[in-house]
Amino acid sequence: MTTIPNSQTERNTYIGGSDVGAILGLSPYKSAYDVWKEKVSPPQEQEVLTEPMQWGIEMEDAILGKYLKTIKASETPIKQFSAQDDTYPFLRGHIDAYFPEQKKVIEIKRVYSKKGWGQEGSDEIPAHYLTQVAWYTMLTEAECADIVMFCKLSDKSTVYTYQRNEALEASLKKKMVEFWKNHVEPQVPPPYQTQKDLIALFYPKEQSVSATPEVIETLQKMKELKEQIGAAEEQYEQLKCEVMNFMKESTLLVDGTLTPICTWKAMAPRNIVDLEKLKKDGLYETYTKKTQPARQFSIK
């Protein structure tokens, strides 16, 4: 392991821990194409530390401090540093905290929901976080990692533990080196993972392309599925009306054990912008702007 100055301003020069899950198609936040675009784009100006960002940093410090008190740590961890692979300097990781003597990585996660998180003490955590901590143990050669998850809704911390899996880490390293060599260095985009990737990759040109028999078959299947969806939605609305008619003025429907199974409540009124008044007052044009052109997919 090589330690280097901690910097977030050169993210286009390396693959970091949060990039790994995205490149593998596991991240709910970005795709492999998003990561590739970031790496091949010119360096961004240093990000200004906003007040919410500062609060987030201080919150993570507080979560780490509470964790250290809970485990009664006898060793002072190294906080906020970056590590890089000795062979491939473009493989790096930003580590929240690390116990050198115990060879343990500490990763802080602040989440809104416990979805994807399993039993306390296990390594049952969302896949993109699991690959991230595996990445950090690979870079630091740590034996394990504690993931301190703070749920904002429950206002509680839960600790999960990942025991080093060298087979997993070797696989991650191989795939990330391939991504860098095959896509970043030659500036060749990776295969698309999302519709958003396709839109970014292929800006429309006024031209036609002849469909292959395979594409025609695919379109036919799409038409059939669309008809099935339409029929199902119509049936759903009919069934919904039957239930609503049964409930009448009632807002809650319960089963035989008085367990709620359905609600039909009045929604709170919401504020809307009076576009006609804005146009009449001559303000509409002042406060509107054109969006970026988008492609609309339509089956004939």
Break the chain into its structural domains and give their ranges.
Answer: 2-198, 213-266
Please give the Cα distance from 30 to 15 (Å, whole number).
Answer: 14
User: For the chain, first and last CA: distance in Å?
Assistant: 57
Q: What is the pLDDT of residues 251-280, one digit of tens each?
A: 999 999 999 999 998 888 888 888 888 888
Angle value at C-alpha 284, between 280 and 286, nearest 5 degrees: 130
261 close to 254: Cβ distance less than 8 angstroms: yes
Mean pLDDT of 150-166: 90
What is the share, in percent, of the chain residues with pLDDT greater than 70? 90
Q: Given a cut of 60, is residue 142 above it in pLDDT?
A: yes
pTM equals 0.67
Apex CA 164: angle with CA 151 and CA 141, to 5°? Answer: 105
Residue with tokens 């600790």: 159
Task: Mean pLDDT check: name the lowest of 50-54, 98-102, 212-216.
Answer: 50-54
Q: What percent of the chain has pLDDT over 90?
A: 58
SS3 sequence of 58-112: HHHHHHHHHHHHHHCCCCCCEEEEEEECCCCCCEEEEEEEEECCCCEEEEEEEEC
CA dist 134 → 28, 91, 112 (Å):
18, 13, 23
Q: What is the pLDDT of residue 198?
A: 66
Mean pLDDT of 92-109: 94
Q: CA-to-CA distance for 131 and 188, rounded, in angstroms?
A: 24
Helix axes 166-179, 127-140, angle to 10 degrees: 90
Residue 2 — pLDDT band, cuts 50, 70, 90? low
Query: Could you confirm whether domain 2-198 is CATH 3.40.50.150?
Result: no
Predicted pLDDT at 164: 94
CA 23 to chain CA centroid, Å, is 11
